[in-house]
Structure 1
């Protein structure tokens, strides 16, 4: 096993939790540095799972949109690690911006590199020439007949649909080694916006659960009135749970402005939140906007919330960690800027667990099938 991370603050966060004996990361062998400089020969081939998130800045809506022209584009390095380790499966996560029309060809190129990791780029071959060669060899069937190949599934996922209190859309690229003959699809959705609207404006269960009296409940937003009427005339939504909101996520955590003694790590008030056009923060009774890797200056006010009285307030680091579904016992190392950057770059813990558990289940089922087949052949 190896945990490879170039950012020293993120590594320091892991190390600090290791020193505290936090069980999940206690035995992680952390290596700080560029993934291209890591000695992959120290990791055996045929590992079960490779998981990673290449830097999103080349494709992020807030980045420079250079894609293949950005030195931070680590998808070629990701394909190289897949080639070296030949994992049974891999999970790669990145921003929705990867699906922008301007990047469509490069996204197809990324998928082909991961599908055929041994068809490496030749000396002097630019990415476009490599892309065309991969396309030709894929359509000819030559790459499927020889060498290492993967069956690739890509999905655009909204974290809120899986119970994360945040509208965070991310692209997941999941691959299974072709010789395993595994058929996989993204896990079924567990939560929905309609179910939240029903619990708020039809049954009232949401407000009852939070102890908000009828007199203090807001009115149905005008743009949702027709949708709520439709929900009012239908049966209760039993198949999906309500989206989780900011209010849900922060339940039980004290207001950091009151400075009363509490047992929460990284929970200090950050002053200076302001509302202005385009910088509006997250409402309490919806999933949060996508937390971003910044502090005060993120463009849409994603790192602050709007309180019941209409005032803005920055999320504390602990509140941001709640929104990213990190456990309260996991601490973050560094300044406000560095910790918020770590959180803005993170995959929500509960979402990662859902995707990884689904992949792991398929690998385990396949292993059981192969072991059973081997036993039958041995008996025969």
Structure 2
């Protein structure tokens, strides 16, 4: 079944597109893909297949739209061919910022966030949308976020970060995503973050009841399982190719799944059959990839008023988006995605801003936000500053900090930026911030060597 038709007025270039969670959401919001770039071969095949089968692209157009390879490789695509596109969007790699990892930030060869900001300056789209894990919102990355806002301001954009919960937009999952939206000033004054849904999403049991019963599992057992699975899911963890196979996350997540009657130690090929009972030490059945996709917001999508005429009745629901590759790859494609309903909600907000729909809002408070005053002072100073000097300037600017807090900021900045330390004649260290350590397109950056060395494990 094809997706419902929308009047496609706007175009998007999507980087690090994955298997199409953001792709699908943006298409539903009214954006047509001019290009989608993805490193993973299975995810790229998934995109091509569904652009044609589900979104109505011709086979030739789907093939031309999806470029497979390193998004930062000039041999894969030419950003200059897409200058002025309506929207540049992407879900750049999460491991550099994930609390489940080492949070290396700019020191991680997978970090493409700063590069994507420079790409925005090069392509000059009307709007930018980037999403990542909640870890990027932590204090550890305050300076990194300030750098991003400042660079976008210098490029002529007004940008804003927001932590969005997938469950606020109809997804039955605790999935926070940290989202950056930047627009040209003439569009930014029309932008508002999407309103939260007023109704709670269904529980895991309600959401998956028909799938759990689809292979003959006894009705009484299914009903009992549904009663126990009475909450929304914990965050689906797709993970990196560097770690493990298809299971539902670290120890804490596995305990949360067990409380819902789900065995999180893997993913099954089929739902439980007739007569199935869990092993003595198992909390319940394992999920299938189709079930995981539904929890992620991919299955039976967007059964709302705008799409109802083009969707089948609930009893005849079918799996609409299909994935290519083996089970572990499919699970990873699903788990690493931006949930389509959330992408749609943000996409609609951006579309309305670009079409200048709604009420104009004053931009004074959004033009030059200060997230990290220590970073801001160092970038504006022409000479090294001691901790005492920083404290004095911060106090005069109305953002006083004690010495330990200033030192914490400096420690964090030293991990993502080139922080030069000069020693004064009295032995006191003074600090000067020179540039970000991240890859932003340099031909001699260590990212190239590490990327080539670890490419088979990068996702």
TM range (shorter): 0.5 to 0.7
Could you give the per-residue CA deviations for residues 43-90 of structure 1, whole angstroms, max 9, x where no partner exists? Answer: 332211111011000001112210011011101220122112111111
Aligned to 2:69: 33
Name the CA distance, whole Å, in 1 between partners of 2:248 and 2:354. Answer: 43
2:205 paired residue number: 247
TM-score normalised to the size of structure 1? 0.64
Q: Given the two structures, how large is their TM-score scaled by the length of structure 2?
A: 0.53
Partner of 2:342: 351
Distance (Å, rounded) in 1 between the aligned partners of 2:286 and 2:57 = 28
| 1:326 and 1:348 in contact (8 A); partners too | yes
- Aligned pair partner of 2:291 in 292, 314, 319: 319
Is residue 2:292 matched to residue 1:301? Answer: no
- The corresponding residue for 2:110 is 72
**C-alpha distance 63-181 of structure 1, shift in aligned 2 (>3 A):** closer
Give the Cα separation in 1 of the matches to 2:230 and 2:327.
25
Question: Hey, what's the Cα distance between the residues in 2 that align with 1:324 and 1:302?
Answer: 19
Distance 1:44 1:12, change over 3 A: closer
Rounded to whole Å, the distance in 1 between the matches of 2:44 and 2:286 is 25
How far residue 41 of structure 1 moved from its aligned partner, in angstroms, is 4.4
Structure 2 equivalent of residue 290 of structure 1: 235
For residues 288-335 of structure 1, the C-alpha deviation after alignment (integer angstroms, 9 at most, x for no partner) is: 110001412720228956339983332210001101111322111122
CA–CA distance in structure 2, aligned partners of residues 320 and 297 of structure 1: 9
In structure 2, the residue matched to 1:9 is: 42
Provide the C-alpha distance between the structure 2 equivalents of 1:340 and 1:151, rounded to a whole number of angstroms: 36
Mark the runs of 5 or more structure 1 residues left unpaired by the alignment: 117-147, 191-239, 261-282, 370-380
SS at match of 2:290: helix
**In structure 1, how many angstroms separate the alpha carbons of the residues matched to 2:257 and 2:81?**
42
Note the residue ranges of structure 2 that are not aligned, 5 or more in a row: 1-33, 219-227, 240-245, 263-277, 300-318, 361-459
Q: Distance in 2 between matches of 1:158 and 1:324?
A: 12
Structure 2: distance between partners of 1:42 and 1:50: 13
**1:55 equivalenced with 2:93 (yes/no):** yes
Query: Distance between the aligned counterparts of 1:326 and 1:292, measured in 2?
Result: 15
Q: 2: distance between equivalents of 1:326 and 1:317?
A: 11
- Which residue does 1:160 correspond to in 2? 167
Residues 187 and 356 in structure 2, CA contact (< 8 A), matched pair in contact too: no
CA distance 1:151–1:246, change in 2 (3 Å): same
Size of the aligned set, in residue pairs, is 266
Cα RMSD after superposing both structures: 2.8
1:10 and 1:112 map into 2 onto residues whose CA distance is: 33
Query: Matched residues in 2 for 1:5 and 1:324: separation?
Result: 20
Seen in structure 2, the aligned counterparts of structure 1 residues 40 and 259 have a Cα distance that, compared at 3 Å, is farther
CA distance 1:366–1:88, shift in 2 (3 Å)? farther
Matched residue SS, 2:141: helix
1:232-277 per-position Cα deviation (integer Å, ceiling 9, x unaligned)? xxxxxxxx212332123224324466489xxxxxxxxxxxxxxxxx
Per the alignment, in what secondary structure is the counterpart of residue 36 of structure 1? coil
Matching residue of 1:338:
329
